[in-house]
Structure formats: C-alpha cells, structure tokens
Structure 1
C-alpha cells in the first residue's frame, strides 16, 4: 500500500500573508551597521519564518538552505538576488542575470537553490523569509570564475 505524500506547503502564500501583517514584523525591524539583523517570526511544525533587515551594502555570502525550500517578500526597499544553477554533479554555476526585488516582490525557490542576496541601493531594506522544513544547515560558497566552491557548512544553533 502506497503512503500518500503529505501536502506541499504554499510557501509563497505564507510569505505574502506574513508580509501583509506589518504589526507582526514591524516591531522587529532593527538596523545594525555590523551585520544584517534577523528575527524569527514563526516557528511552526512544518515551516519557519524570519524577518531580515539590510542596510545599504549589506548582503549574504553565496549559500544554499541545506535542503529547505523557501520564499521571501521584500517589504521595504529593494534587494538584488544573484543565483546559481546546479549541474548533475551538484556543482553550482553562477548565472549572469540578477533579479531586482523591490517592495512587494516575491521570490520562491526549491530545495536545491543557491543564491546571494544584497542591498545594492541607497535605502535600507526589509524582507520576510519562509523556509520548509525549518533551516537546520546551510553551505556557503566562494566564487571561482563562474563556478562556486563550497567553503563551509553551518548548523542551526551552532554556527548561526
């Protein structure tokens, strides 16, 4: 007897719904010059949600989400995302295009997504992120030409 697959979460809808609840995330907004600020908004059994703030020039390293799928909504300012394509061997290749995600923009991605997100504008930015399952690990990468080389693995609660 085949066991039915559990229903997939609509992470995009969850992210949009949370982003529309400014009273939930606005009290968590903080800008810190040393690094991006982040605060967990929701820790549910099947997903988690985070608020991230970005001063001009702040951004992530190239990273994956340890097998979690996700979605994020820019709720203030503009973010820039670059992403990489994974070949059959799992080696990420940087794609030349970038996405500009202004307030109200939604970005969804699967469990094998590798990207880098930055605030390249002159104004601070705020975004709401949803992951399923909850983040437990991330791998960071460094560029080597148009390829990415894994540099470290981080575990939730230990390295971040």
Structure 2
C-alpha cells in the first residue's frame, strides 16, 4: 500500500523567500494597498509574494478551504487569530513562519514602522476567501471574495 506524504507548505515557501531577486514579478510596495503577485503554481499548490507597508493589513478571513503557510521574508508581521471570542496577536519577525489548516481564520498586518515582505503557499490553490467580523463573541460572515473577480 502506498501512502502519499503531503509536502510541508512552509518548506515550499523557503526557497522563494530566500531569493526575492529571482521572483518572476519584481517586488514592489504600493502606498495605497498591499501588493501581491502569484509567483508559481504547482499541481496541488500555489505560491504568492506580498509586500506590506506600515499600517497595511488584511481583514479577518479564511482561505476558502485551502491549507497554507506563510514565511516572513523581511520586516515584522502580526497575525491575529480568534481565541475565546477575542483576537490574540502573535508577532512574526523575518525568518519566522506559520502553518495553518483549511479552517484557519486570521488577520495579518504590518504594525511595525518598517516595510515587510512575506511568501505564502496555499494547497489547493485559492478559489475563494471569506471575510468575517468578530462581534458579540461570534464570527459573522462579511463577504465572500472569488478568485478571478476580487483578486
């Protein structure tokens, strides 16, 4: 009986994080919104690069059933997850990363005073993302964004 081992998504991010000069899309920073570019697609995953100026971040969201990981290439990002009806922050400096499952809900932001860069890997490729509001101790759906429409 053969047993297929899934690749570690954080390990898939590492070579991309190590070589931003080799990315197919040159890194840039957008003063209005986070910049992002898809770097690669595989049979069962995709790789994205994101840049974050101070103050830029995401809404509270999931990844539409995709598992994922992200690795901070430069700067410091703060990830907040829901725990006990509150958001709990976790600072992630350059070189650190985070793996998450298909049901993970979080927000990510640059709360530091220097730009940040990160590499994200999703399996399967992102098809949708649900954004949430946290109120009264409950997550409530704000909207659902579809690939090819919202990004």
Q: TM-score, normalised by structure 1?
A: 0.86
Give the 3-state SS of the residue equivalent to 2:13 in structure 1.
helix
CA deviation map 1:30-89 (0-9, x unaligned)? 11111000011011121100000000000000000000000111001000000125xxxx
Residue number in structure 1 paired with 2:95: 104
User: Structure 1 117/19 Cα, relative in aligned 2: closer, same or farther at 3 Å?
Assistant: same
| Within-5 A mapping of 1:78-117 | 78-84=76-82, 94-117=85-108
Task: Kindly state the Cα deviation for residue 94 of structure 1 after the two structures are TM-superposed.
Answer: 4.4
- The runs of 5 or more residues in structure 1 that have no matched partner are 86-92
- The runs of 5 or more residues in structure 2 that have no matched partner are none
> What is the aligned counterpart of 2:112 among 111, 118, 121?
121
Structure 1's consecutive aligned runs of 4 or more residues displaced over 6 angstroms after TM superposition are none
Give the 3-state SS of the residue equivalent to 1:28 in structure 2.
coil
Residue number in structure 2 paired with 1:157: 148
Distance 1:27 1:38 in 2: 9
What is the RMSD computed on CA atoms of the aligned residues? 1.9
Residue number in structure 1 paired with 2:66: 68
